[in-house]
Amino acid sequence: MNLSHRVLKAFVELAECRHFTRAAERCHLSQSAFSQLIQRLEQDAGVPMFVRNTRNVSLSAEGALFLERARRLIADMEMSVADLRDHATLRKGRVAVAALPSLAADVVPRAFARFHGKHPGVTLEIFDRLSDACLELVRQERVDFALTAPGPRLAEFQCRLLRSEPFFLVCSPAHPLARRRRVTLRELAGCEFVHMARNSSVRQHVDPLTAGAGVLESSIEIEQLATLAGLIANGLGVSLVPELTLFQFARRDLAVIPLDAPTLRRPLLLVQRKGAVLSAAAAELLAITEEFLARPMPRRKAVS
């Protein structure tokens, strides 16, 4: 049966006012067009919905049985369309994002705050994960997109480069390199390094270069940037960190120096399922996030 909203509305209007002309006027149709809708409904149903005589129209037994169902169908249709409009106009909805901890702690919250100020009815969710876990959340369809570094099996995803960030040396102000304006990899020889966890994107980019630079490997290996900052501030070593993590090291007891190594950059990717189309809410949140990522990051001055 072709139970369109138009047909159902015509049926309910005729059932309520019991007059073809008045029901047609309520539906903004000519009487002939209205009568054709009712006839089509009865033909599809295979039973008469109305009993007609020269003076009025009344529901048949089958029509009376169908009336409440028709009202519920109309209400469901109208509610579904209203809900769809709410999502399209960002009055309602949900956006879930997976992001590296360095992004989840600074850039993403700022993007969330701006988006929430404009669209408070949309629910936002964030998963702060390392790169492999971010990709797994995309694979499981638990997030709309991920902001992460390259990981395994990227070919199965739709990826786009958002930013490529340089690295910086972080050390204590008492370290011999703390007063340099820039440092080279060669100058890191003999420095004791405190490393991030081996499965972190930072470690995966730093290891290939420090392996041949003559650095001393500390036995300490950590997962949180705040812990790394505390260890370095207390003279337990130095480390190389990407630009977007520098807010974690903006402390008086730390020195941050640009690394003169153009080949050492961490790419940050937008990762989605192949063929996936973002909702209006997810697309706007992504645009806001990209705006923040495109801004120059503030640089700390060398210790003087």
Q: Domains (ranges, CATH) in the chain?
A: 5-88 (1.10.10.10), 93-162+267-294 (3.40.190.10), 165-265 (3.40.190.10)
pLDDT at 299 over 80: no
- Check pLDDT > 90 for residue 240: yes
Task: Provide the pLDDT confidence category of residue 259 given band limits of 50, 70 and 90.
Answer: very high
Q: How confident is the model at residue 302 (pLDDT cuts 50, 70, 90)?
A: very low
Task: Give the residue-averaged pLDDT of 266-291.
Answer: 93
**Mean pLDDT, rounded, for 52-71:** 86
Q: Given pLDDT bands bounded at 50, 70 and 90, which one contains residue 1?
A: low
- The predicted model scores a pTM of 0.69
225-252 average pLDDT score:
93
Cβ count within 10 A of residue 156: 12
Question: What is the per-residue pLDDT for 303?
Answer: 43
pLDDT value at residue 255: 96
Does the pLDDT at position 304 exceed 70?
Answer: no
Q: With a cut of 80, say whether residue 191 has pLDDT above it.
A: yes
**Average pLDDT taken over every residue of the chain:** 88
